[in-house]
Amino acid sequence: MSLNTLGADAEFDHACMRRAIALAAGVLYRTSPNPRVGCVLARDGHVIGEGATEAAGRRHAEIVALDAARGRGVDPRGCTAYVTLEPCAHVGRTPPCADALLAAGVARVVAASRDPNPRVAGGGLQRLAATGVRTECGLLENAARELNLGFFSRCERGRPWLRLKAAASLDGVTALPDGSSQWITSAAARADGHHWRARACALLTGIGTVRDDDPELTVRHVATPRQPPRIVVDSRLQLTPTARLLRSGQVWVAHLAGADAQRAAALRERGAELIEVAADPRAPGKIDLHALLRALAEREVGELHAEAGAGLNASLLGAGLVDELLLYIAPKLLGQGRGIAPFGPLASVDHALRLHRVELERIGDDYRWRARIAY
């Protein structure tokens, strides 16, 4: 059913869906690898229950909202469910939400977007419609998709949505010639960067960054219920078992075949999980980054946040794998030093990577640029 057949009170429909989207936005850090979903139940112009998806394996948004209504002593029969993503119709970590809505006697379901998961792909709405439930899809779809770019990318493209984060001076320097980079940007910018770490399914870096900076690469400056896995691109397994990021949490090390068995055993002893990836046929000795991202998608990584050095940044950009740039620019001039991503040289200015949907926001003393790349 198309949007031109929405109920007479379109303003109320929009208000309920905006509330559902706000509920989904409130669980940015919590649901990975599941999508962030919000649900509002309403009847006779009044909200009777609402909720958002919990951690993986726990209740989905529709179940939370139904439980909330019943907890208030309200029977949800005959209500409208506004949900930011089509109710699931398959058994995954939890039973199908479409079945729960049917059992509750919901009369109408308004979804912001269809579920791109091939196991659903319209099946949830079809199951509801087949039993007489009025179904509508597409209300505030773009806003709902923005919350789950990684989930849609994983399902539709077979690879994660890749955000590349960097901090630089106004003249584009990310580190001095000797590698010193602490701290180019302010504490406020660093804290803001941890917000983007927290919402990611996984964090990506290269062995050069680990060797030079020995980072923890954890979320520390914002409260979060989970720490994303850290992924190190390390073709020859050069990662030392004493690296700080091996002290806690999940670490995945992407390497080429034929890695040293003793090094591999030492890293596994420290809790690292090794992922063998094919070599790049165009760059011998390097990992095929396309293959790596496909492997990560199979591990349910949807939103991938990269904080790496110039070399890996350039390789990701050159491979056309970066979807979004997150750049923190400090009002400083550092002169000579390392750049964000020294790819090229380009044959012509016309070959430049073009940015769109550019957003600029002041963060403390610095500025945050967020932009999408048009390859």
∠ at Cα 53 (325, 49), nearest 5°?
130
Which amino acid, one-letter code, is at 131? Answer: T
User: Phi then psi for 68, rounded to 5 degrees?
Assistant: -65, -40
Kindly report whether the peptide bond that precedes residue 96 is cis, defined as omega within 30 degrees of 0.
no
Which secondary-structure segment (H or E) carries 274?
Answer: strand 273-276
Pairing relationship of beta strands 161-169 and 134-137 according to DSSP bridges: unpaired
112 Rama sector, left if φ>0, alpha if ψ -120 to 50, beta otherwise: alpha
Q: What strand order describes the sheet that includes 230-233?
A: 273-276, 251-255, 230-233, 202-206, 303-306, 161-169, 324-330, 366-374, 354-363
Tell me the DSSP string of 179-247.
Answer: ---TTSS-HHHHHHHHHHHHHSSEEEEEHHHHHHH-------SS--S--PPEEEE-TT----TT-GGGS
Closest by CA position to 99, among listed 135, 74, 63, 68:
63
Q: Cα separation of 28 and 35, whole Å? A: 9
Q: Which of 50, 62, 86, 307 is catalytic?
A: 62
Active site residue 54: no
Pairing relationship of beta strands 173-175 and 338-339 according to DSSP bridges: antiparallel
Closest by CA position to 168, among listed 325, 358, 47, 347:
325
Strand partners, 51: 39
* Cα–Cα distances in angstroms (integers) from residue 335 to residues 4, 278, 331, 366, in the given order: 57, 38, 13, 18
Which single residue is written with the structure tokens 């923890």? 216
Q: Which residues are catalytic?
A: 62
